[in-house]
Amino acid sequence: MGKNVLIIGASGDIGMAIAEKLVLSGYTLLLHGYQNKARLHEFRRRHDSEAVLDIIEANLAKPEGIQNFINQLAYSVDSVIYAGGHAYYGVFQQTPDKVMDEMLSIHVKAPWLLTKHLLPYMIQKSDGNIIFITSIWGREGASNEVVYSSVKGAQNSFVKALAKEVGPTGISVNGISPGFIETKMNGQLDEDEREAILDEIPLRRAGKPEEIANLVTFLLDKHSPYIHGEIINMTGGW
């Protein structure tokens, strides 16, 4: 089982929870971040220096940032977790073109190009894991989050299509589709909005980043090789 795991968006709440879990499970990490780089360096200080091979800072919203990221990759990557992303709230017809371009770059173009770069090594060794953290809105769609819903839906489609293409090579491709999770991304909701959402969730609570991390670890484990091309919902029944 490959041990070098690249986490895209490791400085976010879900990405950081995944990093914490994988370090405890014996993996070595390459961590990507951009807007909260200090969090990644603090994580490195708290753990064995050999547990974090590298911290890569790159703005994946820009074409030059994607290429800069690829140029900085100095280690082999056995598995990649796409945990990064940005939401955008607003009426669709008022969404600026710049926002659309950046959302497409972060959620679609960057994963395309990075996966394309990483696949030859995985195919050569007939092993590897590609895991996307998508969103419930990629399946259901959300008013005032049309662009975000669209790019997350694209990730779901990419997972399913790529899984069919690379399955014969031994590479595993899956997605995790979270519902309402306790993250800073959802921190902009006021109390009434939050309670309205929780009322719709059968478990009557938000999910925890650590619960997403637990599923990522399971998918990386040798005990789950027949789970392939799936978008696994983690929504509390929402």
For position 2, what pLDDT does the model report? 53
d(CA 178, CA 175): 10
For position 1, what pLDDT does the model report? 42
| pLDDT at residue 238 is higher than 50 | yes
| Tens-digit pLDDT profile for residues 6-65 | 999 999 999 999 999 999 999 999 999 998 889 999 999 999 778 999 999 999 999 999
DSSP conformational letter for 181: B
For position 185, what pLDDT does the model report? 66
| pLDDT at residue 166 is higher than 70 | yes
| pLDDT at residue 188 is higher than 80 | no
d(CA 173, CA 85): 19
- C-alpha distance from residue 223 to each of 24, 166, 190, 214, 220 (Å): 18, 20, 41, 14, 8
The larger pLDDT score, comparing residue 66 to residue 195, is at 66
Residue 131 near residue 174, CB atoms below 8 Å: yes
d(CA 49, CA 12): 21
| Partner residues linked to 28 by β-bridges | 4
d(CA 29, CA 199): 38
d(CA 107, CA 91): 20
Going by pLDDT thresholds of 50, 70 and 90, the confidence category of residue 191 is confident
Which pTM value belongs to this model?
0.94
The overall average pLDDT reported for the chain is 93
Q: What is the total residue count of the chain?
A: 238
Nearest-5° Cα angle at 117, 32 to 4: 50
For position 48, what pLDDT does the model report? 76
What is the average pLDDT across 108-117? 98
List, in order of start, the domains of the chain with CATH numbers: 4-234 (3.40.50.720)
Task: Indicate if the alpha-carbon torsion angle 150, 153, 132, 194 is positive or negative.
Answer: positive
Going by pLDDT thresholds of 50, 70 and 90, the confidence category of residue 100 is very high
Going by pLDDT thresholds of 50, 70 and 90, the confidence category of residue 232 is very high
Residue 53 near residue 75, CB atoms below 8 Å: yes
How is the beta sheet containing 52-57 ordered, strand by strand? 52-57, 28-33, 4-8, 79-82, 128-133, 171-178, 231-234
- pLDDT cut 90: percent of the chain above it: 77
Going by pLDDT thresholds of 50, 70 and 90, the confidence category of residue 78 is very high
- Sequence-separated (6 or more) residues with CB below 8 Å from residue 71: none
Instruction: Tell me which residues are annotated as active site.
Output: 148
For position 45, what pLDDT does the model report? 93
| pLDDT at residue 148 is higher than 90 | yes
| Tens-digit pLDDT profile for residues 198-231 | 898 898 898 999 999 999 999 999 889 999 999 9
What is the average pLDDT across 178-182? 90
